[in-house]
Chains A and B, each alone.
Chain A
Amino acid sequence: MVVRLCGVTKKYGRVEALRGVDLEIPCGQVVGLLGPNGAGKSTLLRILAGMCFPSTGTVEVLGGPPRRHRARIAFLPEPGCLLPWMTPPQVERLARGLFPDFQVQRFRELLEFLEVPARPAGTLSRGERQRLELALITSRNADLYLLDEPLGGVDLVSRRRILQGLIRTWRSEATTIISTHEVHEAEGLFERVVFLNQGRVVLDEMAENLRAQGRSVAETFMEVFS
């Protein structure tokens, strides 16, 4: 198991972002973490990335506490991870310095494939910036990729490009967890979908099983959350 969550609860003051989440994810799965805004998706990913700690319950990532294995976890936080002045070459410099598993060649190829303009991040459109960040994260040879809303708020063309970039860098031994509420385009990518609502896992199913029951992931999404 790459990820093992046991009764995880996270409180911010009086607000409960997660309430007793149990989840196990084996190696190599591509998991869609779905749910409306405020369902706890970001909190769950941040806990897995070691950005914060559960109030109660236990988290194990790659066989230990997340922060111990942070070198093997590639995390894309929801606000992004770039400052406005950073150009793609500067992002490359930063990543080379910070992450020993960063693949410069792959990064350059991805920039080209994702058509990221060579301008400072502050002057890029949201979709372009998100593609730049995706190139940065997926150019790492990590064992666990945690992507928080990589498709959020970007145009259709960017969304498809981002998904193609993800498939292009896909490695069968790496596990990927992607949170999104743009279910339609991402649907084919997920092997397994975990639906979160109000801090709880409300449905956890293999995507092909859902489809075999005659429902697409998107339709299930509508059903669960309407």
Chain B
Amino acid sequence: MHAWETRKKGPVYLQIVDNILHDIARGKLAPDEKLPSVRELAESMGVNPNTVIHAYTELERMGITYTRRGQGTYVRPDVPQDLLRKKFLEAAARKFWAEVEALGLSLAEAVQALEEVVHGGSSVRGDQEIRKS
């Protein structure tokens, strides 16, 4: 969770919810792990503790977390981690595809670019060649 990243648009509590879901999807927060306390998180993000409470209530309502009385908020053991992963991947893919379409490229080229990124090397042959052509 990055400090002082609340200047994006959209309600701050939704940003907190999103960040925590992301952390769960990426495995930074495991099932049954404790979330940071309200005050800790509020302090590190520079936001009002009420906003963090709002976000935590929302997470609980979504069935992501549960509260142990007097101890804090924990990730539920049955948290649908795979589903979350899929959702975030889908969102990232959508963004990627929007860029591919904007550039006027095809799915095949997109897949090729993705493969080359993963296996190292680049489909673009370097700055010099672009300048020559």
**A residues whose Cβ falls under 8 Å from a Cβ of B:** 28, 30, 160, 163-164, 167-168, 170, 172, 184-185, 187-191, 207-208, 211-212, 214-216, 218
B7 touches A216 (CB 8 A): yes
Q: Which residue of B lies closest to A209 (CB)?
A: B11
A167 touches B50 (CB 8 A): no
Count the B residues whose beta carbon is within 8 Å of the partner chain — how many? 19
Smallest CB–CB gap between B12 and chain A, Å?
A: 6
Which of A167, A208, A218 has most chain B Cβ within 10 Å?
A167
B49 touches A185 (CB 8 A): no
- The one of A28, A168, A189, A208 in contact with B39, judged by C-beta atoms closer than 8 angstroms, is A168
Smallest CB–CB gap between A154 and chain B, Å?
A: 15
Does B23 touch A at the CB level, under 8 Å? no
- List the A side residues contacting B7 at CB < 8 Å: 184, 187, 216, 218
Smallest CB–CB gap between B60 and chain A, Å?
A: 18
State A164–B4 Cα separation when bound (angstroms).
11
- List the A side residues contacting B47 at CB < 8 Å: 167, 188-189
Given the known interface contacts A160-B4, A188-B48, A188-B51, the answer about A170 and B42 at a Cβ–Cβ threshold of 8 Å is yes
- Interface secondary structure of A, over-half rule: helix
A167 touches B49 (CB 8 A): yes
**B residues whose Cβ falls under 8 Å from a Cβ of A:** 4, 6-13, 39, 42-43, 45-51
B12 touches A188 (CB 8 A): yes
- The one of B4, B10, B11, B49 in contact with A172, judged by C-beta atoms closer than 8 angstroms, is B49
Given the known interface contacts A167-B43, A170-B42, the answer about A30 and B9 at a Cβ–Cβ threshold of 8 Å is no
- List the A side residues contacting B10 at CB < 8 Å: 211-212, 214
Smallest CB–CB gap between B5 and chain A, Å?
A: 9
- List the A side residues contacting B8 at CB < 8 Å: 216
A211 touches B11 (CB 8 A): yes
State A188–B54 Cα separation when bound (angstroms).
13
State A190–B6 Cα separation when bound (angstroms).
12
- List the A side residues contacting B43 at CB < 8 Å: 164, 167-168
